[in-house]
Amino acid sequence: MLASLEQFMLGSGRGAGELCVQELIMAVTGDETAATGDMPAYQIRTPTTTLPQGVVMAASPGTLHSPQQMAEEATRKRELRLLKNREAAKECRRRKKEYIKCLESRVAVLEVQNKKLIQELETLKDICSSKTD
DNA sequence: ACGCCCCCGCGTCAGTCAAC
DNA sequence: GTTGACTGACGCGGGGGCGT
């Protein structure tokens, strides 16, 4: 978990924000097997191969001739790249927000859990000390 | 009303990584 | 080596809060 967070913060993580439900289940139940496999859940990628509507794939380089055609093709490729990157950035930010929201929820759950455990510890201490007296 | 500051979302660029 | 996806960093513009 901490490793996952570190990976995300260091920028090598992928698909931030895709943990959440399982993380929360883990936090509540303490069941580490609730998370899937070795891979941090938020790094699981969903295939994003679909292009936005209206986007036409570039023609193969072999069909181009004049410098003007080449220039037009380069422009078209650039526009396509920018469009894809724009969408990717939006999706990336959405996942990141979701991931942060999830972490905040987890903090809240763990704080409650921590309070309960402290309370339980105090109770047990009381029991022990009353027995030894 | 105005200026200022802060926050948020966006578009873009650059770098990294995995798949091929 | 090339390519596509992802993401951190940067700059910009808009909106809201606050003091004057």
Instruction: Give the number of other CB atoms < 10 A from CB of residue A17.
Output: 21
Q: Which residues contact A73 (CB under 8 A, 6 or more apart)?
A: A58, A59, A61, A64
Q: For A103-115, how does the pLDDT look when each residue is reduced to its tens digit (9 = 90+)? A: 999 999 999 999 9
Report, as an integer, the average pLDDT of A21-25: 43
| Cβ A112 to strand B below 7 Å | no
Dist. CA A40–CA A38, nearest whole Å? 6
- Digit-coded pLDDT (tens) for A55-80: 333 344 445 568 888 888 888 889 99
Q: Is the CB of A116 under 7 A from strand B?
A: no
pLDDT top residue among A49 and A95: A95
Torsion of CA A15, A21, A27, A33, to 10 degrees: -80
- The model's pLDDT over A88-132, given as tens digits with 9 standing for 90+, comes to 999 999 999 999 999 999 999 999 999 999 999 999 999 999 887
Query: For A22-31, A32-41, A114-123, which range has the lowest pLDDT when averaged over its residues?
Result: A32-41
The C-alpha R_g of chain A, in whole angstroms, comes to 25
- Within window 9-68 on A, which residues have Cβ closer than 7 Å to strand C? 9, 11, 13-16, 45-46, 48-49
pLDDT of A64 = 55
